Amino acid sequence: MIQVTLLSHSPEPMRSLYMAYRTCYSQLTPQQVFERVEDERIPDAEMRRFIEERLKTGHASPLEQISFELAISGVSRAFSHQFVRHRVGISFEQQSQRYVTYKGGRFPYTVPETVRRAGLDARLAALYDQVGELYEEMGAAGVPAEDARFLLPNATNTNFKITVNFQALLHICDLRLCTRAQWEFRKVAALMRAEVLKAVPELGRYLQPKCGEHRLGYCDESEKDWAACPIGRVRPHKDALFRLYDAHRRGELQPLRAEDWAAIEADAPAGEGGAPAAGTS
Ligand SMILES: Cc1cc2nc3c(=O)[nH]c(=O)nc-3n(C[C@H](O)[C@H](O)[C@H](O)COP(=O)(O)OP(=O)(O)OC[C@H]3O[C@@H](n4cnc5c(N)ncnc54)[C@H](O)[C@@H]3O)c2cc1C
């Protein structure tokens, strides 16, 4: 089972973030800003409001100044290959298949739900039993673990201890909470988000897929993928936004129709037996 646990994070992350941003925009020295924070001349609510405003901008480097340490266990090597492709703002330690050997011909692995649903999990288990036996035999024959592991499947489980800064975590969630990402990565990203949300809700809520209302707010994947995505129903595709903008510039916006005026002028509020509610079709 996949488990994600937040081990620790930068102390007082909101204060760190405020200090980082304020230093950029203030005539005061960071020491003077710090004093004002300490003696509460700058109240918490003001710090939060200021950070919220900055988070709407592209000024992202201050977000690198706070970090989160997470333990992640029970994930497959299929997941870990993807995870370690993230190169910036994240440090990984992963369970070794050289120093850790599997005993008694048994190794932990993940079975995807699709395999279970296809009724193929028993055959997979039988195959992995054979793999485990041969792995054991290799060990007994003096094959080192670093070579015996050539047998092991992508399904083999592994564990991580990571440190990731907030900017990198936002980027990972942008990509890996997107429905285009693999299910296991989506699950891990969602669990990381849940852990941060519990500890620092003001920041955790920004961890969204890139189409989230706190991120791009629209989909920048292909239109085909957008059309196939369940979130596509509530998020515009970027090409649709450009088409709308171009139509506006050319003065070609569709005029309001008779039914739109009927909705506007209806006696009953929209959606209450009078005109159709906005957004329904
Ligand atoms: C849906 C999906 C499908 C994928 N499919 C494949 C696939 O089929 N094959 C495959 O090999 N990989 C695939 N990947 C992995 C992908 O190519 C990246 O390796 C992965 O997203 C991590 O890289 P990153 O640049 O996004 O993030 P990071 O490596 O963490 O980098 C963060 C950001 O830093 C910047 N950056 C980092 N390094 C450099 C650099 N050297 N030069 C300039 N800027 C840099 C970039 O702006 C980048 O977005 C897929 C990823 C996703 C989300």
Q: Cα of 86 to ligand 1 centre, how many Å?
A: 6
Q: By the 8 A CB rule, do 37 and 22 touch?
A: no
Q: What's the CA gap between 265 and 259, in Å, rounded?
A: 10
Helix axes 183-199, 166-176, angle to 10 degrees: 140
pLDDT-derived band at 279, boundaries 50, 70, 90? very low
Q: How far is the C-alpha of 270 from the C-alpha of 279, rounded, in Å?
A: 11
Look at the block and give the residue holding tokens 């809520």.
205
65: pLDDT strictly greater than 50 = yes
- The model's pLDDT over 180-213, given as tens digits with 9 standing for 90+, comes to 999 999 999 999 999 999 999 999 999 999 999 9
Cβ count near 51 (within 10 Å): 21
The yes-or-no answer on residue 176 being catalytic is yes
Q: How confident is the model at residue 2 (pLDDT cuts 50, 70, 90)?
A: very high
Q: For the residues 165-185, what does the mean pLDDT come to? A: 97
> Domain locations in the chain?
3-72+159-204, 110-155
Report the C-alpha gap between 160 and 82 in whole angstroms: 13
Could you tell me the pTM of the whole model?
0.90
Q: Which CATH code is given to the segment(s) 3-72+159-204?
A: 3.30.1360.170
Q: What pLDDT does residue 186 have?
A: 97
- Pick from 63, 79, 85 the residue to mutate for probing ligand 1's pocket: most ligand atoms within 8 Å of its CB: 85
Q: What is the mean pLDDT of residues 162-176?
A: 98
Please tell me the distance between residue 128's alpha carbon and the centre of ligand 1 in angstroms: 32
